Structure 1
């Protein structure tokens, strides 16, 4: 079996444009609506949405690689990066680094992706690492760069990248293609098509010693943002995490061919799904403000603390919903008080009750990603 970079026509990918035309149009139309909506929000609501989007994607792109980061730490770093006020929070190097990259993506939607920018992103996400020989530069190890799984002796090679001595030239071709296909350029390509090819091409080269997935997804996000020409953020990684198994399978299948219709169609569906999630987040933040304004001054400190904690969990909500025992853990209230508080919140329309007895759970009365799936 040959890898795509070993094929004679590499890197001349082929696809049928008409198969993506409707999805490309839907993406641009949805983006225009999203940008328009954000412009009409208050500065506070807009800032909250930006922080939530960027932190969710930072957590997701890291989780795809099996790295679990702290949400509060990332959000604190993002607020500092974006010049927003917030409670000081000492972030670990990993959280600070991924937050810096996400902030760069958001602040500079018009900047093209260059070798220097890729190196900067790599230094950011490798912040604090001491086990790599090449940080902020292409890999140089002569040993094969392979993606493998399975126990030693029974390993399955999912992909092998080009030798390290080919990487600079391979990346030069990719970066030149990005310049030639950018919006307004002679060979300009539609947003999703360009993002899908860029991500696959980058992952096929695998130019760094580590962090290729995170930088490659940042590259795709940057391509999508440039097409919209506005500081917006699709949150593609959050959707890719939800479909992680299929994501890896699609990448693996596309790594052996230059005919990439199936890959691009799959990426297009994920891009549209990410836009739907972004719209849900806007609705969530607006509904949060409406509910808290309506209940202001009518809740006791315990009830307010729990509601705020639930809203802080974001559109995904508490996993499994809020139980009476979880309410007691958060507030320290005795059982009788917990029951009284929760019944009062339901009567006020602040929570919705589901289930019975030990299976009783409480949810915010707003649409959430978790409730839809």
Structure 2
């Protein structure tokens, strides 16, 4: 069976738009709720929310590609990029590069897509790499760009991208399509843009990360402001389904199934973004309420718990983990934890060695987003 780009009608995709209408309506409704809620967040707190959300997305989009980055380093790089205070720490080229790309995406979401923008993103992502022939430009190698698995002597080809000599022409056509497709519904446009770009696969490396950035750019343009969407978080949580759907829709131009999958993934990402935004607002309110009432050890542990995100520590916080984080004694840890429960910062469950502590956000949480 020929690849999508080998079909005579390439790149004219077809789909049943009626199957996407309910998904599009849900996205628009929830986007309005998030945008409205953000308007009521103080400017100084909004900076922290934005940095945290972008950090999560930067780390997850790299994790999808098997690259594990340090969250604190990426966040420090982003804070510097936005002119905010950041601690001095060692930041690897990969961490700096993805932070630079995500900051550029955030700042220039409304600018037209162009070769120069994509080349800049690629240079940022490939920062520190010296194993590629083409950095900051489309691939030029003559060998087929393939995704394969199995033994070397009998590999299974899951996907083969356009030949390198076709890239300039097809990317010109893709960019023209992207910049003239803003009348399409948001989820539809983002889904087509991502699949279209991934099918071309124009770079030696970094296509997945850039393709997801393009999808987020499409969504932001459709809404008229940055989405702050946890798209990569949603994809990473079900990575096998992502690659399976890409593979299932790389041999034809009828893509209703792909658009339904991608739309559902975006909605899942939006739901998570809402929960994360609610969580971060609750964090700010909790620390404001406890200001001057807790000691340095307690503050450090609460901050560490919040860095785990809405899911928190796997299995909850134990006294042993409190001691490990703070370096204090067991009696002091016991007193500190009891005090945090009394002050309503933590909830205690279990008894004796099964005792665990969880963030108590009920009284500090906001209902503005739900």
Tell whether the structures are fold-level matches, with TM greater than 0.5: yes
Alignment pair present for 1:353 and 2:353:
no
Unmatched tracts of structure 2, length 5 or more: 366-370
Which residue pairs with 1:233 in the alignment?
228
Indicate how the Cα distance of structure 1 residues 328 and 164 shifts in structure 2: closer, same or farther if over 3 A, else same.
same
What do the CA deviations read for 1:73-97 (whole angstroms, capped 9, x no partner)?
Answer: 1111111111222223342111111
- Residues in 2 aligned to 1:196 and 1:122: alpha-carbon distance in whole angstroms: 21
How far is the alpha carbon of 1:154 from its aligned partner? 4.5
Q: 1:170 and 1:152 mapped to 2: Cα distance?
A: 31
Partner of 2:19: 19
Of residues 254, 259, 273, the one that matches 1:278 is 273
**2:115 is the alignment partner of 1:115:** yes
- Report runs of 4+ in structure 1 exceeding 6 Å deviation: none
Work out whether 1:192 is the aligned partner of 2:191: no
1:37-76 alignment runs, 5 A limit: 37-76=37-76
Other structure's SS at 1:168 match: helix
With the length of structure 1 as denominator, give the TM-score of the two structures: 0.93
SS at 1:353's partner residue?
strand
Q: How big is the alpha-carbon RMSD for the aligned residues of Structure 1 and Structure 2? A: 1.7
Matches within 5 A, 1:1-373: 1-182=1-182, 188-366=183-361
Deviations for 1:18-65, whole angstroms, at most 9, x for unmatched residues?
A: 111121122122222212211211112101110111110100000000
Q: Please give the secondary structure, in 2, of the residue aligned with 1:20.
A: helix
1:236, CA displacement in angstroms? 0.8
Bigger drift between 39-48 and 136-145 goes to 39-48
Tell me, in whole angstroms, the C-alpha distance in 2 between the residues paired with 1:48 and 1:319: 24
Contact 2:323 2:329 survives alignment (8 Å): yes
Q: Which moves more between the two structures, 223-232 or 130-139?
A: 223-232
Q: Distance in 2 between matches of 1:152 and 1:264?
A: 33
Identify which range, 99-108 or 287-296, moves more after superposition. Answer: 287-296
Deviates further, 281-290 or 98-107: 281-290
Q: Distance in 2 between matches of 1:245 and 1:52?
A: 26
Kindly indicate whether the alpha-carbon contact (under 8 Å) linking 1:32 and 1:228 is maintained by their aligned counterparts in 2. Answer: no
- CA distance in 2: counterparts of 1:107 and 1:16, whole angstroms: 34
Change (3 A) 1:136 1:287: same
Cα distance in 1 for partners of 2:304, 2:68 equals 20
Q: 5+ unaligned residues in a row in structure 1: which ranges?
A: 183-187, 369-373
1:329-362 C-alpha deviation (Å, 9 max, x unpaired)? 0111222222222222223221122344444322
Per the normalisation by structure 2, the TM-score is 0.94
Equivalent-residue separation in structure 2 for 1:276 and 1:308 (angstroms): 24
Deviation at 1:151, TM superposition (A): 4.0
